[in-house]
Structure 1
Amino acid sequence: MEKIQCVVSPYWLWERLHDPQVVVVDCRFQLANPQWGYQQYLASHVPGAYYLDLEKDLSASPNKHGGRHPLPDRDLLAQKLTSIGIVSGETLVVAYDDSRFAFAARLWWLLRYLGHDRVALLDGGWQGWIADGYPVCDAIPAPKSGNFAPNPQPDWIVDIETVKAKKDSPSVVLLDSRDGDRYRGEREPIDPIAGHIPGAVNSPWQLVSNERGYLQPLSRQQQLWADYQQAEEIIVYCGSGVTACVNLFSMELAGIHTAKLYPGGWSDWCSYLT
C-alpha cells in the first residue's frame, strides 16, 4: 500500500473526484453562527462532497463539565461515516474547510483516533479550490454504503485529572493552541473565565498555515515544535478540542506522533473555576 498522505492539493483531488475509493467531506463551520457552514455547503461545494457538522456530527452535546465540544459518541459517528461510504482502513477521506484547517483537522484527528489513518486535508481549503478554478456544484450526493468500525485509541486523549497530575512535570509539555491574547488572558470571547492552564506554553494554531490557508513548509512545521522534541509527553489543548487538532496535524507532519489531546480544553478546565 502506498504511503498515506496527510495533505493533498486541489489538483490532486480534482484528478480523483470520481475515484470510488475517495470520499470528500466539507467541514465548513462558524462558532458564532452554527448554521452557516451547512448553508454554504447547500449553496456550493466540491462536487460529490458530503457535509459533516462540527456540533451535530463531530461533537457530542455539552454538559456542565467536559468542554464545549466533547468528543462524539463513536457509534453514532461510525454510523454517519458508514452512510457516506467510508470503509475502515480502505477509503481515503479528504476533508476541507475555509478556516485554515480549524474544523477539517478535527475530522482528520477523529478518524485517526478511531483507527482510520487514510485521511488527508485539502491544502488551501475551499478558498484554494475556488482560486484555482476547479468545479463546484450544489447537488447533494446520495448516501453510500460504507463500513466504518471504530477502533478508538484511548491513550491519545487525556482528561482533566491527568492534566492536573502531569502539568508541572518537567518532562511534560502542556501546549495551549489558542491565540496569544486569549492565552495571556487579555481577551476571552467565548468562555466565562480568561487565562490559561498553569504551566502551559503557547503556540497559536494559525502558525501552521499562511493567511491564504495553505500549510507552511515542512521546515516551518518542524521549527514550531523543535523545542519540544525531547519531551516525554506532549499534551495539546485549545478552547474545546477543535483547533488543537491543527497543531496535532502539524506535529504529525513534523514527525511527532505521540502528542495527546485534552479534548475538554480551557472550556472544561475553567468550568471547575466558576
Structure 2
Amino acid sequence: MSLTKLITPKAFVELLQKETSRRVVPVDSTWYLPNVNRSGKQEFLNQERIPHAVFFDIDSVKDANSPYPHMVPNLATFNKSMSELGLQRSDVLVVYDRIGNFSAPRCAWTLALFGHPSVYLLNNYNLYKRAGYSLDTTKRTAYSEFPRTDYKSDVDLIKEKVVSYEDMLQLVQHGELAQHFNVYDARPLGRFDGSVPEPRPGLSSGHIMGVQPLPFKELLEPESGAFPQSPEDMKCKLNEVMAKLKVSYNPQLPTIVMCGTGVSACIILTALELAGIRDVKLYDGSWTEWVMRSDPSLVIKGRE
C-alpha cells in the first residue's frame, strides 16, 4: 500500500477552486538540518507561505520521551497535535516545504501513518511559486488560523510501517539484513562511506553492514527538487540511479529505508512507492540512533 499521493501545483489550485464539501488545507512542514542554522517554524510566521496554511512541526510532533530526533509519536500525541492545529478528519491536507521536497515527505508519511483519509504531497513548492500562484506574505502570530478541534483517529500503522533498532540489530548481528531486506540509506555518499562528517556534532559517519546508498537528491529533479510526476518516469529515474551507483534491488524482498534521523528517508520511501515498489518500511531512528546505541564495530566505513 502506497501512503503518498502527489499533486501538481496546477491540480492543487484547481482543487482549491472546485472542492466545496471539504476544506483543502495547505500544511507547511519546512525543516532544516541543524548545521544550516535556520528555523522553518520561525520562517513560517515571518516569511511567505501558501494562504491559509498551518505549520506541522516535525521537531515537536514526535516521541518526546525518546533521546533521538523525530521518532514517530504515539497516536494520542498525533491526535493532540492535529487538534491544536484546528484540523478535522474531513480535511484534504496538501503538504509542502519551502525547500522543495525535503521534509514534506516525512510529514505526509506521518499523516498517512495515522490514517488521515486524504493526504497529498505538493510536487512542489518551488514549481508552485514559479508558476505565480498566490502567496501570503503577511506576518503571522500563530501556526494555524483555525480554532482548536477534537481530532480523533484510531488508525496506527506503526507496527506495519516502522522498523525498530532491536529489529535492525538482530538482523545485522546475524549477518542477515541483506538476505531478508533491500535496505537503502538516503544520506549523501560522503556521509554513507564515512569520508564526510555528520551534520550533528559528535556523531561518526559511515553506514550499517548490508545497507546500500541511495542519496535522495539523485531521485529528484535537480533544479526544482520535484519528483518525476508519473510512475513510469519515477521508475526510470530510480533504475538509472541504481545502475549508476551499482545498487541492487530484489523484488522478492521487502524494503527498509533510513537516513540521518528519519526525515530524508521518507523522500526515497516516497520515490520507491511512486515507482511501484510496495512494502517499504522506515527505520525511524536511522543513523543517529544506530551510532548512539550500537557497538562502534557495527559502524562501517567505505563501500562494501
Provide TM-score, normalisation by structure 2: 0.79
In the alignment, is residue 221 of structure 1 matched against residue 234 of structure 2? yes
In the alignment, is residue 53 of structure 1 matched against residue 57 of structure 2? yes
Alignment of structure 1 residues 196-235 onto 2, 5 Å: 196-211=207-222, 212-217=224-229, 218-223=231-236, 224=238, 227-235=248-256
Deviation at 1:72, TM superposition (A): 2.2
Alignment of structure 1 residues 1-274 onto 2, 5 Å: 6-17=5-16, 19=19, 20-32=22-34, 36-42=39-45, 43-57=47-61, 59-61=62-64, 63-64=66-67, 67-88=68-89, 90-125=90-125, 127-137=126-136, 138=138, 141-143=145-147, 145=149, 147-153=151-157, 154-167=159-172, 168-169=175-176, 170-191=179-200, 192-211=203-222, 212-217=224-229, 218-223=231-236, 224=238, 227-272=248-293, 273=295
Q: Distance in 2 between matches of 1:34 and 1:14?
A: 32
Q: Distance in 1 between matches of 2:189 and 2:94?
A: 30
Worse-superposed segment, 177-186 or 77-86:
77-86
Q: Distance in 2 between matches of 1:231 and 1:240?
A: 27
- The sequence identity of aligned pairs, in percent, is 25
Q: Distance in 2 between matches of 1:253 and 1:262?
A: 19
Structure 1 unmatched ranges of 5 or more: none
Q: Distance in 2 between matches of 1:86 and 1:63?
A: 26
Q: Which amino acid aligns with 2:16?
A: L
Q: Which amino acid aligns with 2:196?
A: R
Deviation at 1:119, TM superposition (A): 1.1
**Do the aligned partners of 2:83 and 2:149 also contact (CA within 8 Å) in 1?**
yes
The superposition leaves residues 165-196 of structure 1 with CA deviations (integer Å, 9 ceiling, x where unpaired) of 33433232121111111111111233411100
**What is the count of residue pairs matched by the alignment?**
267
Structure 2 unmatched ranges of 5 or more: 243-247, 297-304
The superposition leaves residues 242-266 of structure 1 with CA deviations (integer Å, 9 ceiling, x where unpaired) of 1101111112111222111100000
Q: Secondary structure at the match of 1:206?
A: helix
Q: What is the RMSD of the two structures over their aligned residues, measured on CA atoms?
A: 2.5
Q: Which amino acid aligns with 1:118?
A: S
Q: Which amino acid aligns with 1:81?
A: M
Deviation at 1:120, TM superposition (A): 1.2
In structure 2, do the counterparts of structure 1 residues 34 and 51 end up closer, same or farther at CA, with 3 Å as the change threshold?
Answer: farther
Q: Distance in 2 between matches of 1:220 and 1:49?
A: 30
**Do the aligned partners of 1:95 and 1:104 also contact (CA within 8 Å) in 2?**
yes
Deviation at 1:144, TM superposition (A): 5.6
Q: Which amino acid aligns with 2:272?
A: M
**Do the aligned partners of 1:100 and 1:206 also contact (CA within 8 Å) in 2?**
no
**Do the aligned partners of 1:157 and 1:262 also contact (CA within 8 Å) in 2?**
yes
In structure 2, do the counterparts of structure 1 residues 122 and 155 end up closer, same or farther at CA, with 3 Å as the change threshold?
Answer: same
Q: Which amino acid aligns with 1:188?
A: P
Q: Secondary structure at the match of 1:112?
A: helix
Q: Secondary structure at the match of 2:260?
A: coil
In structure 2, do the counterparts of structure 1 residues 144 and 151 end up closer, same or farther at CA, with 3 Å as the change threshold?
Answer: same
Q: Distance in 1 between matches of 2:127 and 2:218?
A: 18
Q: Which amino acid aligns with 1:6?
A: K
The superposition leaves residues 41-100 of structure 1 with CA deviations (integer Å, 9 ceiling, x where unpaired) of 12221011101112023x334744xx3221124312212223445444x43211001233
Q: Mark the structure with the bigger radius of gyration.
A: 2
